[in-house]
Amino acid sequence: MKRHRIFNKGETIYCLLSSQSHPDILLPVKGFIVDTKWDRVNPKYKIKILKFHDSIQMLKKYYFEMRFSCEFDVKSLPIMLKADDYSSVPNLEQRIHGDGEARYYVIVDSIMCVKTLQQARELFSRIQFYIISKKYKEIREASARKFGKGAFTVDGLAEWDARFIAAWGDKLSEGGIKPEKYIVSLN
Note the pLDDT tens digit of each residue in 119-138: 999 999 999 999 999 999 99
Residue ranges covered by each domain of the chain? 12-117, 144-185
What is the pLDDT, as a whole number, of residue 42?
85
pTM: 0.87
Q: Give dist(CA 124, CA 118) in Å, integer.
A: 10
Beta carbons of 8 and 71 less than 8 angstroms apart: no
Kindly tell me if the per-residue pLDDT of 183 is higher than 90.
Answer: yes
First to last CA, the chain: 31
What is the pLDDT, as a whole number, of residue 4?
66
Beta carbons of 36 and 43 less than 8 angstroms apart: yes
What is the pLDDT, as a whole number, of residue 106?
95
Residues in the chain: 187
**Residues 6 or more apart whose Cβ sits within 8 Å of residue 167:** none
Mean of all residue pLDDT scores within the chain: 92
The whole-number average pLDDT for the span 96-121 is 94
Kindly tell me if the per-residue pLDDT of 104 is higher than 60.
Answer: yes
Report the DSSP beta bridge partners of residue 36. 45
Q: Report the relative pairing of strands 77-78 and 44-52 from DSSP bridges.
A: unpaired
Report the DSSP beta bridge partners of residue 15. 29, 113
Beta carbons of 16 and 124 less than 8 angstroms apart: yes
Kindly tell me if the per-residue pLDDT of 1 is higher than 50.
Answer: no
The whole-number average pLDDT for the span 30-40 is 92
**For 140-179, how does the pLDDT look when each residue is reduced to its tens digit (9 = 90+)?**
999 998 887 888 899 899 999 999 999 999 999 999 999 9
Q: Report the relative pairing of strands 77-78 and 67-68 from DSSP bridges.
A: antiparallel
